[in-house]
Structures are given as structure tokens and as C-alpha cells.
């Protein structure tokens, strides 16, 4: 174990070293906050179980595999397997960094069991024409006078980007004006995804026109001032960056106005638009590799889920058809007659 100049390294000091290294990699603020929560949460249990009170008083060398097993066992008690799996991954990254930086002699996470997260199936919007109904409703010149500060061009652009580029909420909120680049007719959207990884999503001319119309309305709305390239791409009616709560409200309101609230899977309001983008790619013949690149998945297995889900939905649709029901009735009757 390499010690600090004034004594052994504490767990809290090691955590700060790790977070500084992640900051240098330009990882998003939300990612860094999630790292800190998982490290601090398990760290607090470690310190308490060791009788130190807090991570600042716990020496890093005391964080052994045995101590971590006990801490994770307690930390997991009220939490879902997916949350513990994420925390395990963060602590594994933490010790991998410490070993590489010669701050720890080895990674003890190998002796800590990692729970297997439940398989997550995609949750796209239900209904064959639901995305079209949402876009048509957002683009329609309906009466929005009851809203306090209506901004249909902004709302339409947000929905179009979510549905036609498959972004996560965080990715959309972190877009800047400079994220839209390239020549007219060949625009791309540069997206910073999980882990700070960037990907380029092609922007079709129709989506480009929607974004341009929104930016024009934005300049008109705020005194004719063109936004700087470093400014957030999407802002609220006060010209401040659009927040997560405002985005959630915007999307939920759009569902209500389009009359499709019943087609939205439970717990997947904004994310359902991303799942719809991916599912339609699979339905239209995109490969798992293409889906992985467009959505920024870390694993090809995640992308394959959309293709597998599409196959299941197609089989369910066939089974629900009137002809299939008739065949089951006839075949069942024939079988009964034979018996």
C-alpha cells in the first residue's frame, strides 16, 4: 500500500482521487454524482462497521474483501438487485483505478458477490401509429392559449429529437448548440453518452428543419439574440437550461394532448421514446451493431434485446390475428373429434 505523505491514505481521500480522475475524463455531472453516491453509501457502511464513524477516519488498507462483503450485504438489504449491481461496478472501477495508480496492492471486489440484475425488456410506446400521433399533435396549430408560456416550436423539436435520434433524457439535456454540426443536409448530432463516450447520430433533413425552426423561434423569443455555440440546445421559457422535471412534464403533457397516455408503459415516460426509436430500427431491419452504435450501448447484448423483443411482438401479433384464432378453433375441434 502506498501511503500519503502525512500517513496512510483514508478511504475518503482515495474516493476523491478516483473522482478527480473521472472528472479529467470529462464524464458527465450526473455520472460523477452517481459514482459519489455509490462510493459514499457503501463507504459509510464500511466505516460504521469498522467502528470509525466516517470514511475520512477509515484507512484504505482496512477495506478488505471480507469487510466489503459485510458492507455490501448490509447495503443491499433495502435495495434492488440492479442498484447493487451498479454499486458493485462502481467499486470495481474504483479499485481498478487504485491498483493502476499503485494506491492499493490488489482489487478485493473479486471476493464480493455481484447480484445478477433482472433481464430488462424494452418498453416502447404501444400502438402502431402512436409516435405519428404524438408528432402530429405537437406540430398541429391547436389552441394553446391556456398554457402560461406556450412554445410549440421548442416542444416539437424536443419530441422529434427524442423520437428520431433515440437520446436518453440526460443526453438531450446536455446537448449544446454546437452539438448539431456538419453541412446543411448532412447534419449530425454529437451526443455524449454514458461514461462520457461520444457518438454521432445522423440528422435527417426533416429533423434538421425542425431544429432550425426552433432555434429561429428562440432568437425571436429572446430579443433576436442568437445563442452561443456553447449554450444549451434546449432551454426553458426563461432561457435557462431545460431541466429534467420540465422535460418530464413536457413529454407527459404531449402524451395527454395526443390522446396516447394509455399507450405509455408504466415507469418509462421519456425513456419510452428512446425504446420506440430502437424498436422501430429493429422492425425495419437494422442490425444489432447498427442499433448499438446509434443508441450508444456498451454491450451488443443490450441492442439484441430490441431485435428479440420485436420477434416476440410479431409472434404475439400473429397469434392474436383472427385467422390464427380461427385455425386454433378448427384445429382444436378436429383434435377433440379425433380423441
DSSP letter string over 267-333?
T-TTHHHHHHHHHHHHHTT--HHHHHHHHT-S-HHHHHHHHHHHHHHHHHHHHHSHHHHHHHHHHHH
Q: What is the pLDDT of residue 287?
A: 84
Q: Tell me if 155 sits within 8 A of 210, measured CB to CB.
A: no
Give the whole-angstrom CA distance, residue 90 versus residue 39: 7
CA geometry: angle at 165 spanning 185 and 120, to 5°?
Answer: 160
DSSP 8-class letter at 192: E
The domain 11-111 having CATH identifier 2.40.110.10: the answer here is no
pLDDT surpassing 60 at residue 336: no
Give tens-digit pLDDT for 258-305: 999 999 988 788 999 989 988 888 888 888 888 888 888 777 666 777
Q: What is the pLDDT of residue 151?
A: 94
pLDDT surpassing 80 at residue 193: yes
Give the whole-angstrom CA distance, residue 89 versus residue 118: 16
Least reliable range by pLDDT among 23-32, 101-110, 205-214: 23-32
- 114: Cβ–Cβ under 8 A, 6 or more apart, which residues? 84, 85, 88, 89
Least reliable range by pLDDT among 25-29, 40-44, 107-111: 25-29
Q: What is the pLDDT of residue 335?
A: 42
* pLDDT: which is higher, 330 or 44: 44
CA geometry: angle at 325 spanning 322 and 327, to 5°?
Answer: 110
- The boundaries of every CATH 1.10.150.130 domain in the chain are 11-111
Q: What is the pLDDT of residue 161?
A: 94
pLDDT surpassing 50 at residue 7: yes
Residue 95 CB coordination number (10 Å): 21
Q: What is the pLDDT of residue 4?
A: 44
- The boundaries of every CATH 1.10.443.10 domain in the chain are 130-320
Active site residues per annotation: 168, 194, 271, 274, 297, 306
Q: What is the pLDDT of residue 88?
A: 95
DSSP H helical segments within the chain, as ranges?
A: 11-24, 29-49, 65-75, 81-100, 130-139, 152-165, 169-173, 205-221, 244-258, 271-283, 288-295, 300-320, 322-338
Task: Give mean pLDDT, residues 234-255.
Answer: 95
**Chain Cα centroid distance, residue 126:** 20
DSSP 8-class letter at 225: P
Give tens-digit pLDDT for 214-244: 999 999 999 888 899 999 999 999 999 999 9
% of residues, the chain, pLDDT over 70: 85
Task: Give mean pLDDT, residues 316-338.
Answer: 60
Residue whose cell numbers read 410549440 = 152
pLDDT surpassing 50 at residue 205: yes
CATH of 130-320, one of 3.40.140.10, 1.10.443.10, 1.20.1250.20, 1.10.1040.10: 1.10.443.10
Q: Tell me if 105 sits within 8 A of 95, measured CB to CB.
A: no
pLDDT surpassing 50 at residue 337: no
Q: What is the pLDDT of residue 2?
A: 45
Give tens-digit pLDDT for 41-58: 999 999 999 999 899 999
Residue whose cell numbers read 391547436 = 142
Q: Tell me if 10 sits within 8 A of 60, measured CB to CB.
A: yes
pLDDT surpassing 80 at residue 328: no
Closest C-alpha to 302, from 169, 193, 172: 193
Closest C-alpha to 195, from 306, 34, 16, 20: 34
Residue 174 to residues 114, 127, 190, 221, 246: CA-CA distances in angstroms? Answer: 31, 30, 11, 22, 14
Mean pLDDT of the chain: 86
Q: Tell me if 11 sits within 8 A of 47, measured CB to CB.
A: yes
Give tens-digit pLDDT for 134-165: 999 998 856 655 667 789 999 999 999 999 99
Q: Tell me if 156 sits within 8 A of 301, measured CB to CB.
A: no
Residue 13 CB coordination number (10 Å): 16
Q: What is the pLDDT of residue 3?
A: 44
Q: What is the pLDDT of residue 289?
A: 84
Amino acid at each position: 500500500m502506498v501511503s500519503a505523505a502525512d500517513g496512510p491514505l483514508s478511504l475518503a481521500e482515495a474516493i476523491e482521487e478516483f473522482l478527480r480522475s473521472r472528472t479529467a475524463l470529462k464524464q458527465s455531472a450526473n455520472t460523477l454524482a452517481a459514482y459519489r453516491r455509490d462510493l459514499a453509501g457503501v463507504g459509510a457502511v464500511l466505516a460504521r462497521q469498522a467502528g470509525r464513524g466516517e470514511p475520512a477516519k477509515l484507512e484504505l488498507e482496512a477495506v478488505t474483501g471480507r469487510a466489503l462483503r459485510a458492507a455490501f450485504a448490509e447495503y443491499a438489504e433495502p435495495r434492488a438487485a440492479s442498484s447493487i449491481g451498479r454499486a458493485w461496478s462502481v467499486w470495481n472501477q474504483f479499485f481498478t483505478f487504485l491498483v493502476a495508480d499503485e494506491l492499493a496492492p490488489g482489487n478485493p471486489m473479486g471476493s464480493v458477490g455481484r447480484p445478477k440484475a433482472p433481464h430488462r425488456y424494452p418498453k416502447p410506446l404501444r400502438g402502431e401509429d402512436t409516435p405519428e400521433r404524438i408528432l402530429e399533435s405537437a406540430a398541429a396549430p391547436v389552441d394553446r392559449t391556456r398554457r402560461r408560456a406556450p412554445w410549440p416550436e421548442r416542444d416539437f423539436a424536443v419530441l422529434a429529437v427524442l423520437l428520431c435520434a433515440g437520446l436518453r433524457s440526460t443526453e438531450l439535456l446536455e446537448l449544446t448548440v454546437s452539438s448539431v454540426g456538419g453541412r446543411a443536409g448532412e447534419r449530425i448530432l454529437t451526443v455524449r453518452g454514458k461514461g462520457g463516450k461520444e457518438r454521432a447520430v445522423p440528422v435527417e433533413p426533416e429533423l434538421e428543419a425542425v431544429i432550425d425552426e426552433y432555434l429561429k423561434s428562440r432568437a425571436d423569443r429572446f430579443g433576436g439574440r442568437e445563442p452561443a455555440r456553447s449554450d444549451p440546445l434546449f432551454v426553458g421559457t426563461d432561457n435557462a437550461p431545460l431541466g429534467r422535471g420540465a422535460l418530464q412534464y413536457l413529454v407527459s403533457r404531449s402524451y395527454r394532448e395526443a390522446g396516447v397516455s394509455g399507450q405509455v408503459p408504466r415507469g418509462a415516460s421519456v425513456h419510452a421514446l428512446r425504446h420506440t426509436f430502437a424498436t422501430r430500427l429493429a422492425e425495419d431491419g437494422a442490425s444489432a451493431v447498427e442499433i448499438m452504435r446509434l443508441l450508444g450501448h456498451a454491450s451488443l447484448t443490450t441492442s439484441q434485446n430490441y431485435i428479440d423483443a420485436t420477434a416476440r411482438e410479431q409472434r404475439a401479433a400473429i397469434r392474436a390475428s383472427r385467422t390464427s384464432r380461427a385455425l386454433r378453433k378448427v384445429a382444436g375441434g378436429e383434435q377433440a373429434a379425433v380423441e
